[in-house]
A and B are shown apart, each in its own frame.
Chain A
């Protein structure tokens, strides 16, 4: 074979190899770009999804530079809700039915809370800790929280009718509302972290909720809430009661049907 043919063949083979390598690299680049775009789109979606649980600025700060360790003092209204008599119920109902009942309950309560500008901070067993005015400053936070509590009452009544239709036991609810200053921030361990509010304002709401059994009502508000409430809300004053951790008895008001 003349040397020219050999050179031409070698050049053609080199060109073919280069073309194949170029095509492969291009395919790899396209794939990498597609994956990067998908990952970025997913991150954007996550960012917006997380904004329902923590302030958007905080979500962005976490993404850009990690979890901030400082908190912020905020005026909030805390709603604490608990199912009355849930423990005996959990012992008498089939576990799969119980989970279905609970999930239906949480779905309806969550709808009532978010429709009134609140956000659920934590679910503790069958309990719900919801915050108003924690994500963004909200001058109408107390009225919002009271409306959310009334909406929860209405949602539960409708849900109980559904449960009765299925031959399942009815649920009963106790709700405590308190307004005050708490520390808002990301709290938890590296494995499990949540945006929440800590401080007396939360513990008072939780303890006021336990008083609903004692007073035989479903929604109780503290005098701090009552003072901030729209006078068009109907309330009934109840005798003050001592609460664990507080030196003075706490005056509460039952929130009546509107």
Chain B
């Protein structure tokens, strides 16, 4: 079965797959399987853990129906032209029993796909968050309320939407091969196996719900605390806190280089709150606001080292663009960065793109 992204150009992956059995066992506990992408990110474990912890498998959805969550994944992935994630979402929709004809209609534009107004409002909001042109605001959340969405459901939907943005950026910027996923999505026995897979998935969801712990208030502090606070009461608060802490604590790239990535993306997406957080991180690493400003205005400085001077324009390129463009920029990092550093640069850029789109949770 052909799909709506079949014509999207995709470069060869610059990363080599690695097996890490411990990490695979951890991922299998959450997803029931090990996605082919895991091997490419395995050398930097926090990246794989973030995928698992921020996904509905690690942060169970209590207020957004799982089929609607998959639809959000489908439309956002299609909008971002992420062939890998689009394949995953088509597979999930088939596992959830959505007929092929309906999936095809959704791919062709959900306006025509007999979706109820509440779900339609949710999908519109998800796309708006993903596009961020202009960034989503209180008027968008008011539109959701008018369509019958509760505050908790809006915050959960926002997090799930930006988690999809994170996954889209991760897979696209790294050019993770999509062949195995697309093949599986179109594999006909999936329909036959779907009921068994649904049962197993529900069992995992129940286990995840039982496991899901609230974030203790003392742990909510730290960079981007306003976002963690905005997700209070949802399991995604803990996942976001742990992911941000792990990303910043990782020794693969210098902390200042990562703070610069966050700052560039926040500037590009015009998010003053995310920019303030990134600015505070940069100050911690010794860059004053006066020193930071010209770097962010012109995307480079003689004050930066070779890695930072490569990462600053790279981060800007991850905000928007076609997959092939993004992937060619990643290829350009090979001269300056090690494979592990490339993985972390891709993941931090993906995370920066997620957090700078999530500010709307403070306005719900």
- Most A Cβ at <10 Å: residue of B108, B299, B300: B108
Q: How far is the CA of A135 from the CA of B320 in the complex (A)?
A: 12
Given contacts A56-B131, A139-B267, contact A41 B4 (CB under 8 A): yes
The answer on a CB contact under 8 Å between A143 and B299 is yes
Q: How far is the CA of A57 from the CA of B128 in the complex (A)?
A: 9
The answer on a CB contact under 8 Å between A136 and B133 is yes
Least Cβ distance of B4 to chain A in Å?
6
Q: How far is the CA of A138 from the CA of B268 in the complex (A)?
A: 7
Given contacts A137-B133, A232-B300, contact A43 B109 (CB under 8 A): yes
Q: How far is the CA of A257 from the CA of B94 in the complex (A)?
A: 56
Majority secondary structure of chain B interface residues (helix, strand, loop or mixed): helix
Given contacts A139-B267, A139-B268, contact A37 B299 (CB under 8 A): no
Instruction: Classify chain A's interface size.
Output: 20 to 34
Chain A residue at smallest Cβ distance from B131 = A56
Residues of B within 8 A of A122 (CB): none
The answer on a CB contact under 8 Å between B108 and A44 is yes
Residues of B within 8 A of A40 (CB): 105, 108-109, 112
CB of B134 within 8 Å of the partner chain? yes
The answer on a CB contact under 8 Å between A37 and B320 is no
The answer on a CB contact under 8 Å between A57 and B299 is no
Within 8 A of A (CB), among B86-110: 104-105, 107-109
Q: How many A-B residue pairs have CB under 8 A?
A: 47
Interface size on B, residues (CB 8 A): 20
The answer on a CB contact under 8 Å between B298 and A44 is no
The answer on a CB contact under 8 Å between A44 and B109 is yes
Least Cβ distance of B287 to chain A in Å?
18
Within 8 A of B (CB), among A1-59: 37, 40-41, 43-44, 47, 55-57
Chain A residue at smallest Cβ distance from B2 = A41
Residues of B within 8 A of A57 (CB): 131, 133
Within 8 A of A (CB), among B6-42: none
Residues of B within 8 A of A126 (CB): none
Q: How far is the CA of A55 from the CA of B4 in the complex (A)?
A: 21
Chain A residue at smallest Cβ distance from B7 = A45
CB of A162 within 8 Å of the partner chain? no
Chain A residue at smallest Cβ distance from B313 = A140
Residues of B within 8 A of A231 (CB): 298
Least Cβ distance of A149 to chain B in Å?
16
CB of B256 within 8 Å of the partner chain? no
Q: How far is the CA of A139 from the CA of B270 in the complex (A)?
A: 9
Chain B residues in the interface with A (C-beta under 8 A):
4, 104-105, 107-109, 111-112, 131, 133-134, 267-268, 270, 297-300, 316, 320
10 A-B contacts, Cβ less than 8 Å apart? Answer: A37-B104, A37-B108, A44-B108, A55-B133, A136-B320, A140-B268, A140-B316, A143-B299, A230-B297, A230-B298
Chain A residues in the interface with B (C-beta under 8 A):
37, 40-41, 43-44, 47, 55-57, 64, 135-140, 143, 230-232
The 4 residue pairs across chains A and B that have the minimum distance between CB atoms: A40-B108, A230-B298, A136-B133, A41-B108
